[in-house]
Structure 1
Amino acid sequence: MAALGDDPELVRIGNCSGFYGDRLSAMREMLEGGQLDVLTGDYLAELTMLILGRDRLKDPNLGYAKTFVRQLEDCMGLALDQGVRIVTNAGGLNPAGLADKLREVAGKLGLHPKIAHVEGDDITARAGELGLGNTLTANAYLGAWGIVECLNAGADIVVTGRVTDASVIVGPAAAHFGWGRTDYDALAGAVVAGHIIECGPQATGGNFAFFTEIPDLTRPGFPIAEIRRDGSSVITKHTGTGGAVTVDTVSAQLMYEIQGARYAGPDVTTRLDTITVTQQDTDRVLVSGVTGEAPPPQLKVSLNTLGGFRNEMEFIVTGLDIEAKAALARHQLDAGLTVRPAEIEWTLARLDRPDADTEETASALLRCVVRDSDPKKVGRAFSATAVELALASYPGFTFTAPPGDGAPYGVFTAGYVDAAAVPHIAVLPDGTRAEIPPASETLALADVPEPALPQAFPAGPTTRAPLGRVALARSGDKGGNANIGVWVRTDDEFRWLVGALTVDQLKVLLPEAAKLTVHRHVLPNLRAVNFIIEGLLGQGVAYQARFDPQAKGLGEWLRARYLDIPTEFLA
């Protein structure tokens, strides 16, 4: 056991990165803004692993988040002076390489931090034998115990590869309190705290549906989890920073990129239906009551492959007869292609409006996307054919961008392997390699039966209005699937919501989902329903099946749709 702060009953963990490319100054802001015991950073997403995979193809010494190195060049001395431990997954595909780079940086700065790393998640070389196919990257989601081992060995800085996003928070909490591997409720509470703060200012008002309620979003502060011995936590931020921490900003992040009521991880399966969220004070939200179960016997694996090559041309269509003009362009391009790509997708975005007072608002966008395994079929053979129509097509013909060659695109899929088949190794500051065994107690993942729904809200006067007048939402991606979490603020509104926003109603409101499989999960403690829309995003973010490939705006589209809402809710 290694205490990470002065208070044996509490550990104060801040986060300074929610993605690769987040605010560069956030590490210094967090270190200078107030007291911390641990500072974490989440740099990895499904798309990031593909980006790092391409980096590694160009240079085998790369494969980690280079911005993290820049942050530590600036802040390593500050963190050491304050005794703040740093834990991050910025190692990406090359945690050992990042650890070596940080030692090089420390030497140049005249500093002597104890640096450790966690490895074993990269199973790319064994993907075929494990039944995962031929991949560019294959990384199993490891848990928190390698991080615990490194911290217990005195590491000041711990870098990992692909661990679950919450693991960089769970590890320090488990090390501080000396939790065991079957302390499921405490571990689950830390997972929830980690899930809330892992995306940085999304927990302090960023990307928040009722954003006009947030007093200052100029530069929202990054979040902090004050985790207690029982796994409960208070979510907060440094005093004087922008944004806000409220029940709703915390709930918004809780609803982000989740599936059902069971949230599986390599260390614990967290029951999201047990979470209680309470406003304790200004910018202080208590998260409590979380229960956990044994983890499943398999680990999830992030698989990225090169799916082929893609290109697109976007036509501007202005004024009258939009549909006829678009049909002419489609017919001409289709007839002119001498080499046909394997996939051709057309979309017409009717952004125009009648009698528009600007040319832009009188225009629609006609987009053609092509994909093929042969780059020649989606290169100039495609874009040049589109350009040749410039003087021979509909009136006002023009493009949003010049033609170009096709570019490779990636495909993300999730695989699963037995946990025992994946090494989990903590490389300690002195170079010792400690093997972390898989969980000895596991429980197969199963759906939670839908809870008893509240009594229906009584019929009464209704008004046709946007759902977002009453409800908040947050949406995101998981591979090719999208999730939309929708929640309300009062019990009566929840009684109405669960009856009104069914799967069938969602398909009416979002016609793009009408022919897809949609699942609904009800979370009464959060007054929420969460929808999973299978296949909406094609083969993942890099495939770019929609103009919003990560479904970030999907919840806001839903909130803008009209339905009959009890009039009393709209007062």
Structure 2
Amino acid sequence: MREMLTGGELDVLTGDYLAELTMLILGRDRLKDPGAGYARTFLRQLEECLGLAHERGVRIVANAGGLNPGGLADSVRQLADRLGIPVRVAHVEGDDLTASHPGSLAAHAYLGGFGIAACLREGADVVVTGRVTDAALVTGPAAAHFGWAPTDYDRLAGAVVAGHVLECGAQATGGNYSFFADRRRDLLRPGFPLAEIHDDGTAVITKHPETGGFVDVGTVTAQLLYETAGARYAGPDVTARLDTVQLTGDGPDRVRIHGVRGEAPPPSLKVGVNRLGGFRNEVVFVLTGLEIEAKADLVRAQMADALSKSPPAEVRWDLVRTDRVDAPTEETASALLRLVVRDADQESVGRALSGAAIELALASYPGFHVLAPPGKGAPYGVFEDVYVPHAAVAHMAVLHDGRRVPVAPPQDTLVLEEDLAEPSLPVPLPPAPTTRAPLGLVAGARSGDKGGNANVGVWVRTDDAWRWLVHELTVERFRQLIPECEGLSVHRHTLPNLRALNFVVEGILGAGVAAQHRFDPQAKALGEWLRSRHLDIPEALL
């Protein structure tokens, strides 16, 4: 926060504090203390930086309110009074639908930006919200600044795209970027991105001078593909058409976003529902040297016998062959056998698993040891998204003077079409010599999670590479390269303006990140795994 306030010019400083997993964590906090439920790190940042923001006339908009935006607004006022800083603090509420979802720990609708805009128009210096869309932190200030109406869909869509680029901070300035290798020196400490937004909805993504990292068409493309699906990116204010986005270099560390078209939002709002799913425990057996498969078979059978009196509801084994032949170190001679159990009863995954695993220590395969003894079992959460009509949510701007201003739902809505017609594709490259090589020598990727689904965005940097990729990386080829997709629905979306394909794999993450369904529970490295897979690539592209 200090770096953004001191590094250059700003009108509004935004902060995105909420992920699906964060809402679950805050829900557990609220169980212990009804006055909790917001991001306390935000208050610690403000203690250092609120005076600086006030001096520079920078407004602050953050969704750090989590499950208790009113409580956070009160805490910010108390902090400002203690520091002697005259700031006007407002908040946005209405997203909390937990009471209408029995059994949930936290159920919150994703609100749009017009509650934020109402607070800013009435003079707020600090606006805190609960669950709004990440992009709302940008659309709200832009709508307030330029006086946009709810039907200015193209302008709002442009701001949504800019907000999506900003939402994950340094991921737009070289962080987590596929083609990082030739820019390693720039990435020791990447700066944070900012957006210069114009009245027509166009924007320039850049960063403060002299900060680390870099901004180019590739870094912006990568972030545009992150945790999105098809060409229509739906939100509560507008549906942004990602297939209309155009990116143009605008000088060093500057990328212009233009051409974005918008449509009326869908008639319903997304609601993220977090529940406690039960208890989870795991143990990782280390298998070293020869006969790895036989050692794994033995301990599986022994554990099944030991747990047979009270078997957990779910048992999952994964053998990870990290071992090498004739390895120079013991670690590289070892494979990992992971056992994960889940059950509604903590005893079934706690003491029973711990006893069974440790009692085998002198009676199992040669070289028996585990990475760490299993604990008593920890609760895990499950996430699902449901949808409600806009009118079911009481979107409310609570102004700095206590006035409560209802935020009207959109007048016009448009039922979201899941799939657009496949855009016209470029002609394939003519037949040419190929070499077996990793996809990542040609293509970048960025992947992430949305509930139990994962998306993998793949893009290339030249027209010829695009002519090859769009015909080569079909759904069938994707399934071959990512065998975990077996039995799951995979959808491909084509974005020619970005030279990109976006794949959505339904159900690969089970019940969401908190359930820890797979080794990489948020699919953050799924794209890098895809880039490491080999296929026949035209030599001219290499």
TM-score by length of 2: 0.99
User: Which of 282, 292, 300 is 2:252 aligned to?
Assistant: 282
SS of equivalent to 1:240: coil
What is the CA distance between 1:403 and its match in structure 2? 2.4
Alignment partner for residue 11 of structure 2, among 30, 33, 37?
Answer: 37
| CA apart distance, 1:452 | 1.1
Q: Does 1:355 find its partner at 2:326?
A: yes
Describe the superposition over 1:482-513 as per-residue Cα deviations: whole angstroms up to 9, x where unpaired.
Answer: 00000001111111101110001011111111
Alpha-carbon offset, residue 367 of structure 1: 0.3
Answer whether contact 2:281 2:374 (CA < 8 A) is retained: no
Q: Deviations 1:71-92 (Å, cap 9, x if unpaired)?
A: 0011000000000000000000
Residue 334 in structure 1 maps to residue 304 in structure 2: yes
Q: Which amino acid aligns with 2:143?
A: A
Structure-1 residue corresponding to 2:541: 569
Question: In the TM superposition, what whole-angstrom CA distance separates every residue of 1:357-391 from its partner, at most 9, and x where no partner exists?
Answer: 01111000000000001111101111211111100
**Partner SS, residue 366 of structure 1:** strand
Amino acid at match of 2:277: G
**Alignment counterpart, residue 483 of structure 1, candidates 441, 455, 461:** 455
RMSD: 0.7
Task: Report what 2:214 is aligned to.
Answer: 244
Q: 1:79 aligns with which of 43, 53, 70?
A: 53
Distance 1:101 1:317 in 2: 52
Instruction: Name the SS for the 1:155 alignment partner.
Output: coil
1:188–1:268 CA contact under 8 A, matched in 2: yes
The count of aligned residue pairs is 539
Residue of structure 1 in register with 2:434 after alignment: 462
How do 1:108-507 residues align onto structure 2 when only pairs under 5 Å count?
108-128=82-102, 134-214=103-183, 215-337=185-307, 338-446=309-417, 447-507=419-479
1:131 corresponding residue in structure 2: none
Paired amino acid for 1:286: R
How far did 1:410 drift?
0.1
Distance in 1 of aligned mates of 2:105 and 2:233: 27
Q: 2-side partners of 1:569 and 1:268: how far apart? A: 39
Is the partner of 1:281 in helix, strand or coil?
Answer: coil
Distance in 2, Cα, partners of 1:436 & 1:502: 44
Task: Give distance in 1, aligned partners of 2:86 and 2:367.
Answer: 65
Q: Give me the whole-angstrom Cα distance separating, in 2, the residues matched to 1:191 and 1:392.
A: 60
In 2, distance between residues paired with 1:524 and 1:157? 40
How high is the TM-score relative to the length of structure 1? 0.94
CA drift of 1:438 comes to 0.4
Q: Secondary structure at the match of 2:186?
A: coil
**Any conservation in 2 of the 1:410–1:543 contact (CA below 8 Å)?**
yes
Partner of 2:518: 546
Q: Secondary structure at the match of 1:306?
A: strand
Q: CA deviation at 1:516?
A: 1.1
Give, in whole Å, the separation in 2 of the partners of 1:408 and 1:339.
19
- CA displacement, residues 426-482 of structure 1 (integer Å, 9 cap, x when unaligned): 000100000001001000000211111111111110000000000000000000000
Contact 1:508 1:514 in 2 (8 A): no
CA distance in 2: counterparts of 1:467 and 1:268, whole angstroms: 35
Residue pair 2:104, 2:274 contacting (<8 A) in 1 also = yes
Find the aligned partners of 2:427 and 2:189 in 1 and give their Cα distance. 42
The share of aligned pairs that are identical, in percent, is 67
Structure 2 residue runs without a partner (length 5+) = none
- Looking at structure 2, the residues matched to 497 and 444 of structure 1 have their Cα atoms a distance apart, in angstroms, of 32
1-side partners of 2:486 and 2:375: how far apart? 34
**Contact kept in structure 2, 1:40 and 1:168, CA below 8 Å:** yes
